[in-house]
């Protein structure tokens, strides 16, 4: 016989639903989105949680389509909706009407206020930006010592400029108080000698991507002031390309990602080598072209006056002398004295245009031109040789040999593969250590 006071499961769950809907009604709830699932029907199911509790949520298609903010996993949100019970499972759920980003409006307002304040002080002015060194030898990294951003930057630096030495100052990049550590690292490296830090040529300050809250430490005024006062050039590399922080506006240069920052601060070694090779080729072609030009000029001059024989040069004067002789023979006796005087005058005049004198003067002229050309060519070759030597010296300075000269070494296995970790070696292995003055083979004993 049924007990009148005993409820069926359906009636109990229905009473629970009515009680929740009447007592609580529509509410605002804040928490983190997780386990989000989008159905083909357009409905969105997810869990809203905080540190101590969680509850199921559903946003039906009509509300999901109209919502300006779409919930995503990990997003901190404010939800407006009605608490109810899903009778089929007897579970409490929130039927979501609208979604807002939790705290983003307040943070954005703080961001804009600080940006206006620093801009009014002129800290964003372009004339305050320091130029990045074209060939840095040490790069300071202010970031998390365990983050993926650090590994990305180290990989890019090793690939593009293996002669550059990265130096890490590990800091906390997220959470309460992280901004103080970031600012301290910048301040201490600005006065590196007083703080016992190694000297670097440029700093990269940043971290990987995240939400506005995750990146907020780089929007704090203490970090902005430290960047503005730093004596070293700073590249800001916070988050992804779409993320902007106050640090980006204060830094001497902003990079869209940490990897991009590493590419910005160091040159590409392969490009440098290609450029030197192209310059060398261009210089050799220029010298060869000048030599060919001078050879052509000299050959042309030799084909000119120098190729004419003495007989051809004397032909006309001899004809004129013969004519004068005939004229003298036919002249009357009383004109002999006058003709003899004219002959002497003619001979004196012809002495200056005698073929031998002409040839001597032209040879002297050609010799002076040849000497001048040789001097110009020698000077040009010397300048180009000096320029090539300077480029070669720069390449040696930037190349790996300079690292050996400073005491660095490279250890490889017997096949020439570089060993980067002692975990790759075992007892009995033969290793080869390369130093500045040669190589040495060793055997691992333990």
Average pLDDT over residues 146-171: 92
The end-to-end CA distance of the chain, in Å, is 84
- Give the pLDDT of residue 2: 55
> Is the model more confident about 415 or about 305?
415
pLDDT grade for 223, boundaries at 50, 70 and 90 = very high
The residue among 365, 349, 358, 347 whose CA lies nearest residue 310 is 358
Calculate what percentage of the chain has a pLDDT beyond 70. Answer: 88
Q: Which two tokens stand for residue 211?
A: 């939400």
> Is the model more confident about 336 or about 66?
66
Domain residue extents for the chain: 9-102, 122-267, 271-398, 410-443
Beta strands at 165-170 and 138-143: parallel, antiparallel or unpaired: parallel
- How big is the chain by its Cα radius of gyration, in Å? 45
- Give the pLDDT of residue 155: 94
3-state secondary structure of 103: coil
d(CA 230, CA 142): 13
- Give the pLDDT of residue 291: 85
pLDDT grade for 292, boundaries at 50, 70 and 90 = confident
Mean per-residue pLDDT of the chain: 84
- Give the pLDDT of residue 224: 93
Q: What is the pLDDT of residues 10-69, one digit of tens each?
A: 888 888 888 887 778 788 998 888 999 999 999 999 999 988 899 999 999 999 998 888
The residue among 298, 183, 295 whose CA lies nearest residue 234 is 183
Asked whether 64 and 8 are in contact (CB, 8 A), the reply is no
Beta strands at 54-59 and 76-86: parallel, antiparallel or unpaired: unpaired
Topology alike, domains 9-102 and 122-267: no
Weakest-pLDDT range from 78-92, 232-246, 325-339, 429-443: 325-339
Asked whether 152 and 280 are in contact (CB, 8 A), the reply is no
126 CA to centre of own chain:
20
Residue 317 phi/psi, 5-degree rounding, is: -60, -35
Burial 147-164 (b: 16+ CB within 10 A, else e): bebbebbbebbeebbebb
Strand stretches in 6-43, DSSP E: 26-38
d(CA 92, CA 202): 56
Beta strands at 430-435 and 438-443: parallel, antiparallel or unpaired: antiparallel
CATH architecture of the domain with residue range 9-102: Beta Barrel (2.40)
Residue 178 phi/psi, 5-degree rounding, is: -65, -30
Residues in Cβ contact with 209 at an 8 Å cutoff, skipping those fewer than 6 apart: 239, 240, 243
| Residue 368: count of CB within 10 angstroms of its CB | 10
Asked whether 47 and 54 are in contact (CB, 8 A), the reply is yes
d(CA 132, CA 297): 49
d(CA 117, CA 220): 12
Range 122-267 classified under CATH 3.40.50.261: yes
């Amino acid at each position: 016989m049924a007990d009148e006071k005993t409820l069926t499961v359906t009636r109990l769950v229905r009473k629970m639903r009515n009680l929740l809907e009447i007592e609580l009604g529509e509410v605002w709830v804040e928490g983190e989105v997780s386990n989000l699932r989008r159905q083909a029907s357009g409905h969105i199911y997810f869990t809203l949680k905080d540190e101590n509790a969680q509850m199921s949520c559903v946003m039906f298609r009509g509300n999901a389509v109209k919502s300006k903010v779409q919930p995503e996993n990990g997003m901190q949100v404010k939800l407006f909706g009605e608490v109810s019970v899903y009778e089929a499972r007897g579970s409490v759920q929130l039927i979501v009407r609208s979604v807002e980003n939790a705290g983003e409006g307040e943070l954005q307002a703080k961001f804009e206020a600080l940006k206006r304040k620093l801009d009014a002080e002129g800290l964003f002015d372009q004339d305050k930006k320091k130029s990045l060194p074209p060939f840095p030898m040490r790069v300071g990294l202010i970031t998390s010592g365990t983050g993926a951003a650090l590994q990305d930057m180290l990989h890019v630096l090793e690939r593009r400029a293996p002669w550059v030495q990265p130096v890490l100052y590990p800091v906390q990049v997220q959470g309460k108080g992280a901004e103080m550590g970031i600012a301290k690292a910048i301040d201490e490296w600005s006065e590196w000698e007083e703080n016992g830090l190694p000297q670097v040529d440029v700093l990269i300050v940043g971290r990987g991507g995240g939400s506005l809250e995750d990146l907020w430490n780089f929007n704090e005024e203490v970090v902005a002031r430290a960047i503005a006062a730093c004596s070293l050039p700073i590249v800001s590399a916070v988050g992804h390309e779409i993320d902007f922080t106050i640090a980006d506006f204060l830094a001497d240069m902003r990079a869209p990602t940490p990897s991009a920052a590493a590419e910005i601060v160091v040159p590409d070694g392969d490009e440098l080598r290609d450029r030197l090779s192209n310059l060398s080729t261009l210089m050799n072609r220029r010298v060869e072209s000048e030599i060919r030009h001078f050879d052509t000029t000299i050959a042309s001059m030799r084909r000119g006056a120098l190729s004419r024989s003495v007989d051809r040069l004397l032909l006309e004067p001899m004809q004129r002398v013969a004519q004068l002789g005939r004229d003298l023979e036919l002249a009357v006796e009383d004109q002999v004295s006058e003709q003899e005087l004219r002959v002497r005058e003619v001979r004196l005049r012809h002495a200056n245009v005698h073929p031998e004198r002409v040839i001597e003067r032209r040879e002297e002229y050609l010799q002076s031109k040849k000497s001048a050309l040789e001097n110009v060519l020698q000077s040009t070759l010397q300048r180009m040789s000096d320029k090539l030597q300077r480029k070669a010296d720069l390449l040696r300075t930037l190349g790996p040999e300079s690292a050996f000269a400073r005491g660095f070494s490279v250890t490889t296995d017997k096949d020439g593969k570089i060993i980067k970790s002692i975990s790759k070696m075992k007892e009995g292995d033969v290793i080869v250590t390369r130093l500045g003055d040669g190589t040495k083979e060793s055997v691992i004993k333990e």
